[in-house]
Structure 1
């Protein structure tokens, strides 16, 4: 799809969490990776997409770190975070004019390595359908279910790791999240709300280095991957 027919897209990055599993003295999105914060990397990769006209960055009201990142205020609208990630995303969706931004791209603050070519693919292929798409990676390992002991081996056929960004029509996503929350459904990502609402969400294979930084060892792995990308 040529760029002149791509509609204006709004992006949402929920970044109000504290990342307790990182065991750090600050929220994980403000830890440094190759001279920049994780959040800076993530935001800059989304803003590098020409069709993304506005970024809604969801932050805790008492966030004391964002002001020092130097991110461009003219392209970013700050939004108050909610009690959970899904509520943060919904807070942003409630502010987005769907006539101006009919499609929305939602990306994790802790995924600083997403590649431009994957985002371009997501937007292009997502716009070719009606209900949106997500980046994902096929499961490669043998899957087990259990607690302390294995209860069963689960076939990895047709299993995928869900990544971000995830890309949906703005109105459909807003309605799906509101409906799912009202029904008491656990919304773990945007696609899960769309699935609950009965929409067909397309899977698009992305690069496996689009990792989510969750634990201390992930930061070292991300630094390695970042060096390989350049």
Structure 2
């Protein structure tokens, strides 16, 4: 059994795709910022010992939390890319969190994480040497388009999944994978991609599809609806 389990949240981004002056992790839904919902989902879970949040150097909106649910909440300065922020947070973990400790990387703007999904993810990541991620099989029909947005072909979807977070890996292996990607000049879009480049084959754990990431105003409205109904605690 892994002795320590910590969470990492990259939150140094500006959320430019969403629009507006407020970074999306600080947008409010059901009475508190999205990042607060994400942190509460993680730190209220009995198996998670603490969390590190990677923030922009000049972030004026961070409330200064140092504990939440009676567990340590650390902060560090993130970078220009997601991978830079995750790597900074991995380096900021306490010294007693060893290379074999499990680290869960979670999106700060993904507020509706369920405890049951966390349990299944942690169990799978402990059992699998290459770690595990939450996701869901693709259920929609996929179309390939040309430059003019005309359909070129229908793509098979039987082996395709959408990747969610958290994504759970051993601290040492994930740090090495992110360092290698940086050295190679590769911008990875999630932690699993960095691990894949090292030859790893992380396990896919099917999670709830309402574990949505807020990217657009419509996403925020849906998150507000789900959280207001109290479904995030189920």
Scaled by the length of structure 2, the TM-score of the pair is: 0.90
Equivalent of 1:83 in 80, 85, 105? 80
2:49 to 32, 38, 53: 53
2:8 equivalent among 8, 12, 18? 12
**Runs in 1 of length 4+ with deviation above 4 angstroms?**
68-71
| Structure with greater proportional helix content | 1
The change in CA–CA distance for 1:167 and 1:70 in structure 2 (over 3 A counts) is closer
Counterpart-to-counterpart distance in 2, 1:100 and 1:53:
15
Residue of structure 2 in register with 1:135 after alignment: 134
Report how far residue 153 of structure 1 moved.
1.6
What SS does structure 2 have at the residue aligned with 1:137? strand
Tell me the secondary structure at the aligned position of residue 17 of structure 2: helix
Segments of 5+ residues of structure 2 without an aligned counterpart are none
Q: CA RMSD in A?
A: 1.9
Q: Tell me the distance in 2 between the aligned counterparts of 1:100 and 1:185.
A: 23
Q: Could you say which residue in structure 2 is the equivalent of 1:121?
A: 120
Q: How far is 1:225 from its partner?
A: 2.1
More divergent stretch after superposition (19-28 vs 157-166): 19-28
Contact 1:37 1:69 in 2 (8 A): no
| Corresponding residue for residue 161 of structure 2 | 160
Runs of 5+ in structure 1 lacking a partner? none
The answer as to 2:209 corresponding to 1:208 is yes
Whether 2:61 is the aligned partner of 1:28: answer no
Q: 1:145 to 1:71 in 2, by over 3 A?
A: farther
1:174 matched residue in structure 2: 175
Quote the offset at 1:25 in angstroms: 2.4
* SS of equivalent to 1:151: strand
From 21, 29, 40, the counterpart of 1:44: 40
2-structure distance, mates of 1:24, 1:50: 36
What's the offset of the Cα at 1:69?
7.0
Q: Within 2, Cα distance between the matches of 1:90 and 1:107?
A: 13
User: What is the count of residue pairs matched by the alignment?
Assistant: 226
